[in-house]
Amino acid sequence: MELFAPFEPHATGRLPVGDGHDLYWEVSGNPDGPVVVFVHGGPGAGTAPAYRRFFDPRFWRIVLFDQRGSGRSRPHASVEANTTPHLVADMEMLRHHLGVERWLLFGGSWGSTLALAYGETYPERCTGFVMRGVFLFRPQEVEWFMTGMGAFFPEARRRFLDYLPEAEREQPLASFLRRLNHPDSAIHMPAARAWCGYEEACSRLLPRDETGDGDGPATLALARIEAHYMAHDGFMRPNQLLDDLYRIRHLPAIIVQGRYDMVCPPSSADDLARAWRGCELRVVPDAGHSAMEPGIRAGLVDAVERMKMKIRRP
């Protein structure tokens, strides 16, 4: 299945959530339909117009928002008061603000992490979950990102580490974090380019030659906020998402997972699906991590279409 044709939001706004942060949000689609909320990845990646197109605008009331420090939210690339509990509380505040009773959670990569964290905190506000590239924020998943991907993309990891002085390459996360949080753009932007270049090189089954706008504002937000969360274990208890899964296990869930996802390997999706009775795991045999790879894109659209039959209207 292909993405739906482009369409525009019918409402946009900003929501002050405290600590000096305000979030960009938008609503599109059917004003009277069941609600789906797009939970973006990163953390720090932000939303884009194409993300509306996973959803049938004739059926769904579609909510997109940029998390703290991300996209069009302000202040940009800020890690102050930026933790998983903050983001969960922000989502609940946004739900109240928009007058939503219950919503379907749609998230990939870090978006799956945050969707699960929100759902386990507010299970009564969820109708179900569609997830891609599951990331449970366990230590082995962070270690895989920092080290394991290099087994398949050695040249990308070599470029990543070569950015750092040789003496700092044993602890790359701490070394990158210091540079990414430095106030001087001459220091934090090269570090952000190196971080994002590494992730981008590992994100697709067939890597692209170009890496996009390496000097754009999204580069700093993604790198700085992602490293911030990795350095703090996702601001969650060890194994929190699996331990608290009983709170949402009664809800429908579909996972679309690339067989060759090198950023979020299939083992995490498998662990989640085995612990979640009734969860459907669909492995795409010719895909990596990116939501826009053809097989992942089609699988996500199909999953949301089939969720129409699994949820009740609010």
The catalytic site residues sit at 109, 261, 289
Chain mean position to CA 183:
26
Write out the two tokens for 141: 């998943």
Rounded to whole angstroms, how far apart are CA atoms 39 and 106? 6
Residue 162 CA from chain centroid, whole number: 27
Distance of CA 25 to the CA centre of its chain: 16
CA distance 29 to 247: 30
DSSP code string of 280-291: EEEEETT--S-T
CA 211 to each of CA 17, 31, 281, 286, 290: distance values in angstroms, whole numbers, following the listed order: 33, 37, 30, 21, 13
